[in-house]
């Protein structure tokens, strides 16, 4: 049977329609399931670096300020035409949120999206690098006297009322408490400097009115897009303003640039007066860390704006706490961001990290920043415990004495012996011996008694706190508390915390045994071992008076150590890190009464904290003093001056020591712990010679890294390697020489410049590292002001070693300058 032509055409048309419809359904379903899959993917923040310069390098000037029409046009093009267009044309609508455009010193953006979407970005033309946000963490007075500032560099600059005048220090941190007296503006001492190089902005919000930018606080911004994308912010703590709800940012800022002579009063007790290193420096605030979360996206946006504003020095007591994945440490977007800050003329001071005493834990990797480790100050807050038999046991304080100024003996009771007999609470350490829960105790036994609590399991796993002991003590009316170690865990590390309740920490097991022996000798028990009569007595003495005896400048246990690493695999870099040590242990600084993350410090205006977070602002403030006195010095010149004048001996005249893993353990420190030594501001202000490096030198360094793919350097920096040549990375002109694998002999070059006002003759001497022979050429030279001298350092292996050994080159000048260049070498083959 034959169909008519019209019937055949209709059938063909019908089949075509069905096919088209099926194809449409297939495409629709594919898009739908792709969309569903996209929705099911976890979103993260990604940092994207693009080809092309930021505004600061759009023209020949190292900085182009926002009043420039060219700058505005270029920024608009980067933002509107480049960043937005790239996202719009590459990613699916609704699958991403752009958080920040980085447009001043780097060209890029932060985007909140899924892995499948970001995979598209990676292959797009013009995209140099894509990196997942690693997050950012906080690296958590007596120091002006410890560093001899009053009679040294402060005196040279007109005393504390002028120290730091004209210098702006930027703080990327958790914000600032504008009501604190450390940041108050004094109308009787107006600022005289002209900050024409700085463009201030005052962003307002909760707890931060416009009046907060008072002249001392010269500028304030906050960056929250990353935080808002990754966490549900708590409106009562995560304030969208520059206000500091945590306290960390205020503490850091006060150490570097807090006003001079501010009374430190905590719990109505006067501890003395606090001063920043550069008390007349101005403060620019860039809040990027919140109590709930911190992201690198917000941190990099803050750094970008700090450079746009024109800060002189940037303080980073925050940052990523681990090396980057999938890239070299020097080539992470964060470290490239810091490289461009240096290119813009900004000195970056970083906290070295708080993962010591393990090796290779330092998180300040790159040679274009100053990585600061932490040391002790020699100040302690001792307390004493008087027992009924007349024995006095030493401990750690920061709280007042028990009844009668610590002279009236009161009943002594072990926490385990004061529990409710029929209590329904769990029989776990935090209930039975750590004094964490008031409901566990018989109030008739503990009232008006000195209670012995134990530093046991809960303190080691982080579930128990000293604050809970104080809460229990107040709730039940203890006379005082004693915190002794559990012998099974050994001695513990006692850090003083100011409390408005009598108490003492006894960190040594040997001392705890003395206390417990007295207790058992005077306590009567029945046949079941239950305490029936408590005849032991004790009194807690004053613990708030500082003692300044003993050794100072000991590298703190928590302070991260070198050697520096080049990647996550732990391959070593030919860079000395940390660069320097500074006071970072038990440092008084400004605080905020809200104290979002430290409930035990709620209501306080000052806090006593430890961390490389506290060490870094010491160096930032000292750098501000040097910058004030030497305004034309570059960041690397200031860094060199700080390094070559570092002190390698403590207050007793002995070599620097470092705390080990065990409590109370010390061992001789090396440059892997202390870098170039203890910062010495007075000598750093007049170092005689400096060793400086610039942006092109750092590119040459990157291009000379072993087994480096030049394309990766170009991708990260935009610079080709064919015009940047170092034979080896150790030829970067640093104030130190580090060789992580010396094979045979190498020749290292250094160039020094006389930055003094007079011609000076230097004599060189060498202390070679073990297993090496070192020759210096020339050993005698004369150099005129602003002139340079090349030095050749020949280093030969004489014995194979498995670890670094250390030495130094000492250049002694005829005008009493002493320049030290640290040598760190592993000779692996002769």
Name the active-site residue from 207, 248, 437, 730: 248
Name the active-site residue from 71, 74, 104, 173: 173
β-strand pairing of 370-375 with 282-287: unpaired
Q: What are phi and psi of 198, to 5 degrees?
A: -120, 135
Neighbours of 36 (CB within 10 A): 9
**Cα–Cα dist 100/80, whole Å:** 12
- Report the candidate in 627, 734, 632 with the shortest Cα–Cα distance to residue 685: 627
Q: Is 248 a catalytic residue?
A: yes
Neighbours of 652 (CB within 10 A): 12
Distance from the Cα of residue 122 to its chain's centroid? 31
**Cα–Cα dist 509/511, whole Å:** 5
Helices 612-629 and 635-644 sit at what angle, rounded to 10 degrees?
110
Q: Residue 210 gets which letter from DSSP?
A: G
Residues 6+ apart with CB under 8 A from 415: 432, 433, 434, 435, 441, 451, 452, 453, 454
**Cα–Cα dist 633/345, whole Å:** 9
**Cα–Cα dist 750/732, whole Å:** 8
Residues 6+ apart with CB under 8 A from 786: 753, 754, 755
Helix (H) or strand (E) holding 516: helix 509-522
Q: What are phi and psi of 102, to 5 degrees?
A: -90, 115
Q: Rounded to a whole number, what is the largest CA-CA distance in the chain?
A: 124
β-strand pairing of 108-113 with 97-102: antiparallel
**Cα–Cα dist 605/177, whole Å:** 9
**Cα–Cα dist 678/428, whole Å:** 45
Task: Please spell the DSSP secondary structure of 624-680, one letter per residue.
Answer: HHHHHH-TT--HHHHHHHHHHT-B-B-TTSSBPEEE-SSTT-EEE--HHHHTT-B--
Name the active-site residue from 613, 636, 640, 740: 613
Task: Please spell the DSSP secondary structure of 151-186, one letter per residue.
Answer: TTHHHHTTSTTTTTTT-EEEEEES-B-TTSGGG---
Six-digit token pair at 511?
């001392």
E-assigned strands of 16-96?
A: 44-50
Six-digit token pair at 729?
């990375």
Six-digit token pair at 526?
């029945």
CA atoms within 13 A on the CB side of 50: 25
Identify whether the C-beta of residue 14 lies closer than 8 Å to the C-beta of residue 102: no
Distances (CA, A) of 792 to 654, 747, 766, 774, 777: 31, 7, 12, 10, 5
β-strand pairing of 217-222 with 282-287: parallel
Q: Is 817 a catalytic residue?
A: no
Q: Is 173 a catalytic residue?
A: yes
**Annotated active-site positions, please?**
173, 248, 613
């Amino acid at each position: 049977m034959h169909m008519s032509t019209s019937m055949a055409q209709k059938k063909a048309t019908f089949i075509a329609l069905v096919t088209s419809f099926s194809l449409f359904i297939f495409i629709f379903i594919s898009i739908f399931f792709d969309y569903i899959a996209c929705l099911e993917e976890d979103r993260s923040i990604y940092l994207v670096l693009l080809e092309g310069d930021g505004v600061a390098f759009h023209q020949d000037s190292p900085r182009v300020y926002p009043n420039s029409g060219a700058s505005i046009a270029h920024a608009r093009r980067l933002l509107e035409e480049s960043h937005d267009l790239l996202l719009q044309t590459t990613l699916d609508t609704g699958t991403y949120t752009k958080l920040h455009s980085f447009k001043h010193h780097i060209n890029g953006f932060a985007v909140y999206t899924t892995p499948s979407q970001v995979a598209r970005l990676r292959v797009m033309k013009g995209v140099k690098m894509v990196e997942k946000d690693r997050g950012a963490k906080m690296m958590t007075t007596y120091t002006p006297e410890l560093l001899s500032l009053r009679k040294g560099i402060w005196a040279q600059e007109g005393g504390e009322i002028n120290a730091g005048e004209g210098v702006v220090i930027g703080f990327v941190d958790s914000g600032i408490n504008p009501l604190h007296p450390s940041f108050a503006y004094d109308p009787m001492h107006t600022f005289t400097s002209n900050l024409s190089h700085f463009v201030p902005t005052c962003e307002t919000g909760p707890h931060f009115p416009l009046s907060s930018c008072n002249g001392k606080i010269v500028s304030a911004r906050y960056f929250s897009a990353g935080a808002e994308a990754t966490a549900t912010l708590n409106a009562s703590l995560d304030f969208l303003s520059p206000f500091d709800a945590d306290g960390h940012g205020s503490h850091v800022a006060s150490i570097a640039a807090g006003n001079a002579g501010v009374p430190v009063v905590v719990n109505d007790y006067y501890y003395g007066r606090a001063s920043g290193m550069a008390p007349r420096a101005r403060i620019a605030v860039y809040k990027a860390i919140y109590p709930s979360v911190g992201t690198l996206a917000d941190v990099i946006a803050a750094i970008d704006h700090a450079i746009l504003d024109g800060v002189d020095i940037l303080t980073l007591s925050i940052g990523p706490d681990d090396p980057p994945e999938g890239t070299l440490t020097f080539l992470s977007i964060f470290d490239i961001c810091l490289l461009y800050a240096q290119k813009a003329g900004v000195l970056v001071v970083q906290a070295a990290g708080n993962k010591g005493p393990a090796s290779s834990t330092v998180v300040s990797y790159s040679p274009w920043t100053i990585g600061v480790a932490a040391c002790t100050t020699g100040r302690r807050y001792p307390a004493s415990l008087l027992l009924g038999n007349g024995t006095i046991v030493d401990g750690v304080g920061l709280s007042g004495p028990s009844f009668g100024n610590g002279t009236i003996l009161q009943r002594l009771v072990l926490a385990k012996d004061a529990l409710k007999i029929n209590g329904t609470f769990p029989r776990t350490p935090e209930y039975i011996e750590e004094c964490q829960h008031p409901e566990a105790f018989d109030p008739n036994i503990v009232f008006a008694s000195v209670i012995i609590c134990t530093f046991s399991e809960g303190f080691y796993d982080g579930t128990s706190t000293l604050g809970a002991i104080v809460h229990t003590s107040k709730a039940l009316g203890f006379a005082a508390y004693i915190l002794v170690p559990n012998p099974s865990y050994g001695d513990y590390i006692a850090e003083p915390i100011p409390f408005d309740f009598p108490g003492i920490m006894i960190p040594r097991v040997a001392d705890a045994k003395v206390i417990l022996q007295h207790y058992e000798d005077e306590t009567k028990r029945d046949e079941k071992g239950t305490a029936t009569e408590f005849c032991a007595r004790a009194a807690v003495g004053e613990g708030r008076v500082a003692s300044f005896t003993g050794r100072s400048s000991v590298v703190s246990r928590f302070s991260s150590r070198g050697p520096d690493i080049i990647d996550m695999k732990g391959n070593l870099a030919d860079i000395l890190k940390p660069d320097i040590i500074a006071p970072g242990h038990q440092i008084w600084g400004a605080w905020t009464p809200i104290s979002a993350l430290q409930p035990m410090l709620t209501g306080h205006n000052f806090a006593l904290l430890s961390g490389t977070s506290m060490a870094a602002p010491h160096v930032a403030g000292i750098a501000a003093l040097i910058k004030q006195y030497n305004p034309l010095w570059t960041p690397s010149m200031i860094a060199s001056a700080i390094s070559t004048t570092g002190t390698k001996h403590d207050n007793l005249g002995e070599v620097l020591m470092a705390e080990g893993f065990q409590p109370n353990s010390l061992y001789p420190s090396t440059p892997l712990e202390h870098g170039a030594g203890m910062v010495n501001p007075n000598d750093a202000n007049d170092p005689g010679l400096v060793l400086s490096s610039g942006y092109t030198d750092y590119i040459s360094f990157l291009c000379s890294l072993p087994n480096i793919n030049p394309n990766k350097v170009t991708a990260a920096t935009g610079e080709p390697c064919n015009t940047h040549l170092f034979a080896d990375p150790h030829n970067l002109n640093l104030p130190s020489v580090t060789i992580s694998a010396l094979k045979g002999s190498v020749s290292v070059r250094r160039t020094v410049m006389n930055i003094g006002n007079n011609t000076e003759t230097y004599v060189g001497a060498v202390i070679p590292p073990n297993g090496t022979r070192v020759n210096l050429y020339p050993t005698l030279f004369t150099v005129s002001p602003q002139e340079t001298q090349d030095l050749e350092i020949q280093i030969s292996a004489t014995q194979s070693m498995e670890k670094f050994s250390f030495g130094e080159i000492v250049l002694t000048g005829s005008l009493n300058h002493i320049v030290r260049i640290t040598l760190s070498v592993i000779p692996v083959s002769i």
